[in-house]
Amino acid sequence: TIQAVAMAKQVADTDTTVLLLGETGTGKEVFAQALHKASLRRDKPFVAVNCSSFSGDLLKSELFGHVAGSFTGALKDKKGLFEEADGGTLFLDEIGEMNIELQAQLLRVLENGVFNRVGEARPTRVNPRIVAATNRKLKNEAVNGKFRLDLYYRLAVYTIPLPPLRQRGDDIQALAGHFALVFAKQFNKPVPAINPELLKCLREHQWPGNIRELRNLMERLLIINRGEDLSAASLPADFFEDTFAEQGDSFDLSDLETRYIRRALHQANGNKREAAQMLGISLSTLYRKMEEYHI
């Protein structure tokens, strides 16, 4: 969003630790990469790790490295990601998944710039810029003892919230166009236009998977595209599945009716008489509702 980009610009050319807050799929790693490219460290490595992808011991070795013989299978010395990112940026995704022991060691690096490889007594000094990210309410977890409070405050020197895609209606058209361009180039196809009906569907969708879901959808649409404009008729059936359980009381009956009509039209391949039969209403009622809801 414009606000998030403006916040990033304010801190890009500093070494300040940044904490990105947002749901899964909101583009936190892409944002971290952009932050790195705008920084004075842009010519140094950008290294990313998802903390939820490793168990505690494996993550420790991944971050800090190890020396040969320090544990079973450690046949040779191995640099950790902190050393790989020295002088550049280390992106710690899903930082809330890190165990308490590792949190203490991370705090030491943040405060003193030193750590020990697994199995080595001699400290190693490094200077990466840390950008962390979480989809959790990390402050609440810290207050409740599930995350180190001192580490939280050390990470949250500068926080940037990345809102979910469903709250970024103005961004959807630009993002969809960007992904259409990317995948048209990848599949060696002409860049198709996005017709208004499809754009309306994209704007009304709840996007539980956020930018990742939109990216995957546009890839699918480009795979099956045969040179025509991208239209709502190409959307997969599960795109129209209702996500009301996730929306709480934020929808009304017109939303519900609109979704059912769109789904029926999609399943009937645009045949309005067939769609009306599916919905159990007359054709004239369907036309009236389509006009009412601007479908």
Domains of the chain (ranges plus CATH)?
2-161 (3.40.50.300), 168-233 (1.10.8.60), 236-295 (1.10.10.60)
* Among the listed residues 63, 57, 54, 100, the one whose alpha carbon sits nearest the alpha carbon of residue 82: 63
Q: Residue 116: what pLDDT? A: 84
In this model, does residue 148 exceed pLDDT 90?
yes
Confidence (pLDDT) at 36: 93
Q: What is the pLDDT of residue 280?
A: 75
Mean pLDDT of 199-204: 89
Phi, psi of 159 (to 5 degrees): -105, 140
pLDDT of 245 above 50: no
pLDDT tens profile 255-294 = 667 777 887 787 777 888 888 887 778 888 888 888 888 8
Tokens of residue 171, six digits: 């961004």
Average pLDDT, the chain: 86
Q: Would you say the pTM of this structure is higher than 0.85?
A: no
Q: What percent of the chain has pLDDT over 90?
A: 44
Q: Inform me whether the pLDDT recorded for 188 exceeds 90.
A: yes
Mean pLDDT across 178-196: 93
- Over the stretch 12-61, which tens digit does the pLDDT of each residue have? 889 999 999 998 888 899 889 989 998 999 999 999 999 998 887 889 88
The Cα–Cα gap between 56 and 199 comes to 44
pLDDT at 242 over 80: no
118, β-bridge pairs: 66
Among 91-95, 229-233, 242-246, the range scoring the smallest mean pLDDT is 242-246
Helix, strand, or coil (residue 125) = strand
Cα-based angle 258, 262, 268 (whole degrees, multiple of 5): 145
Q: Where are the alpha helices (DSSP H) in 78-168?
A: 81-84, 100-112, 138-143, 149-155
Res 75: pLDDT: 65
In the predicted structure, residue 189 carries a pLDDT above the cut 80: yes
Tokens standing for residue 95: 């930082």
> Half-sphere exposure of residue 180, counting CA atoms within 13 Å on the CB side?
21
Residue 8's pLDDT band (cuts 50, 70, 90): confident
CA gap 40, 57 in Å, rounded: 33
Q: Pick the range with the lowest mean pLDDT from 6-10, 100-104, 136-140.
A: 6-10
The CA-based dihedral angle spanning residues 266, 271, 276, 279, taken in that order and rounded to the nearest 10 degrees: -20
Question: Which range, 53-57, 91-95, 209-213, has the best average confidence (pLDDT)?
Answer: 91-95
Place of tokens 């003193």: 112
